[in-house]
Amino acid sequence: MNCWMFPGQPLRHNQPFPETADGAEIINLCRNATGFDPSTWQDDGGLNGEHVRLQIYGTAFSLCRTRLLRSSGQEPDMVLEHSMGIYAALAACDCISEREALEMTARVGVVLARMSEDKRYALGCIIGLGCPAVETAAANHGVYVANFNTSSHFLLSGERSRIMAAVEECAAAGAFSLSVFECDAPLHTPLIVEVATELESIFSDYDYAGPRVPLLDHIGQQPLTSSRIPAFLLDELLSPVWWQQSYRAAGKLGASTFVEVGAGDALKKFNRWIDSESR
């Protein structure tokens, strides 16, 4: 069984779009839907910062990759999504159009970016430490575990000063790799409730069809239905990403081939890590 995986926001835009008709069409569609050209990294002034551009770039690249796979005769039997990869995943499953996926990404990104006007947020990447120690460090400093990617790879999310303190505690506890990244908003934490009303209004603007193949959510690993999608789009920004559980759930349902449909190969690396721990 073939499973397509849609990653979230990339950290950088170092993969150029394919010089194909599909690549050109996605770039043009992105420009028309959002005012942003991911090939030139220019926008019409309506976007609010680099992270919004990266979010749109990630969705656009995944949409382009979807087209390339389909042009080669490939189709998924199941779809997994990670973080903001949900928007391209919905388009790949024919729940919304490509244009709507790009537009939704931009609208959500602009709302999230406004959270950084008053506070400074960051993500802390913790590798090589067990879950209990990471959760304790997060609780001790008022931040949250946003991504449970493997049994020893986590992302913390919250205010930057608190993230720095939590990362220091994780270092003292024995983590072998730590890094901190600036971000616009504390994604996948309850702190997103500050803009929940605006986000809910965005998600209610669209009509959603049922997924053409099973699309597993990254919270409870349940197939999304058309009626569940709007609520999930808000819930997933307020809740952690449980990637290890999602990958294993897909395997139990019969998925044997996993294809990362987007920029980079972070999800494939997580999967190899998870598989190595299961041997």
CATH class of 2-115+189-278: alpha beta
What pLDDT was estimated at residue 279?
A: 58
- Cα(28)–Cα(36) distance, rounded to whole angstroms? 9
- To which H or E segment does residue 19 belong? none
- Cα(166)–Cα(72) distance, rounded to whole angstroms? 46
- Cα(160)–Cα(19) distance, rounded to whole angstroms? 39
Model confidence pTM above 0.85: yes
Please say whether the structural domain 118-183 has been given the CATH code 3.40.50.620.
Answer: no
Alpha-carbon torsion, ordered 55, 248, 73, 54, to 10 deg = 10
- Cα(157)–Cα(62) distance, rounded to whole angstroms? 24
Distance of CA 204 to the CA centre of its chain: 20
Q: What is the DSSP letter of 170?
A: H
- Cα(56)–Cα(176) distance, rounded to whole angstroms? 32
What pLDDT was estimated at residue 62?
A: 97
pLDDT digits (tens, 9 = 90+) for 55-97: 999 999 999 999 999 999 999 999 999 999 999 999 999 999 9
Domain boundaries, given as residue ranges, for the chain: 2-115+189-278, 118-183
**How many angstroms separate the first and last alpha carbons of the chain?**
21
Instruction: Report the DSSP beta bridge partners of residue 79.
Output: 4, 215
- In order along its 279 residues, the chain shows pLDDT tens digits of 999 999 999 888 888 888 899 999 999 999 999 999 999 999 887 787 899 999 999 999 999 999 999 999 999 999 999 999 999 999 999 999 999 999 999 999 999 999 999 899 999 999 999 999 999 999 999 999 999 999 999 999 999 999 999 999 999 999 999 999 999 999 999 999 999 999 999 999 999 999 999 999 999 999 999 999 999 999 999 999 999 999 999 999 999 999 999 998 999 999 999 999 775
Nearest to 267 by CA among 249, 239, 244: 244
- Asked if 60 and 10 touch (Cβ cutoff 8 Å), the reply is no
* Helix%, strand%, coil% for the chain, nearest 5: 50, 20, 35
